[in-house]
Amino acid sequence: MAPDRSAPSCPKPLRRAAPLRGVGRPSFPSRSLGWMASSGKPARNFLLFAGQTAHDRSVTSHRGITMTTVLIVDDHAMIRTAFRAVLSQQADITVVGEAGSGEDGVRLSRELVPDVILMDVNLPGMTGLEAATRILRGNPQARLIAVTALEDSPFPRKFLELGAAGFITKACPMDELVSAIRTVAAGGKHISQHVAQAMAINAINGHAKSPFDTLTQRETEIVVGVVHGEDMVEIGNRLHVSKKTVASHKYNAFSKLGVDSDVTLVRLAIQFGLVDPGQRR
46-55, 141-150, 152-161, 191-200: which has the minimum mean pLDDT?
46-55
End-to-end C-alpha distance for the chain, whole angstroms: 87
Closest CA to 125 of 7, 279, 250, 4: 279
- From-to residues of CATH 1.10.10.10 in the chain: 211-279
Beta pairing class for 93-99 and 66-73: parallel
pLDDT over 90 (residue 187):
yes
Nearest-angstrom CA–CA distance, 20 and 135: 29
Instruction: Give the CATH fold of the 33-201 domain.
Output: Rossmann fold (3.40.50)
Nearest-angstrom CA–CA distance, 159 and 105: 16
Provide the H-helix boundaries in 32-190.
33-38, 77-87, 102-112, 128-138, 156-162, 174-185
Instruction: Give the CATH fold of the 211-279 domain.
Output: Arc Repressor Mutant, subunit A (1.10.10)
What's the whole-model pTM score? Answer: 0.65
Residue 147 has what DSSP assignment?
E
- From-to residues of CATH 3.40.50.2300 in the chain: 33-201
What is the helix (H) or strand (E) element at residue 259, kind and residue range?
A: none
According to the model, what pLDDT value does residue 168 have? 92
Give per-residue pLDDT as tens, 43-90: 333 344 444 443 344 555 546 678 899 999 999 999 999 999 999 999
Nearest-angstrom CA–CA distance, 160 and 214: 15
The pLDDT confidence band at residue 100, using thresholds 50, 70 and 90, is: very high
Looking at residues 263-277, what average pLDDT do you find? 78
CB 230 within 8 A of CB 266: no
Residue 92 has what DSSP assignment?
T
Give per-residue pLDDT as tens, 105-124: 999 999 999 999 999 998 88
Number of Cβ within 10 Å of residue 258's Cβ equals 9
Nearest-angstrom CA–CA distance, 145 and 181: 8
Mean pLDDT of the chain: 77
pLDDT over 70 (residue 228):
yes
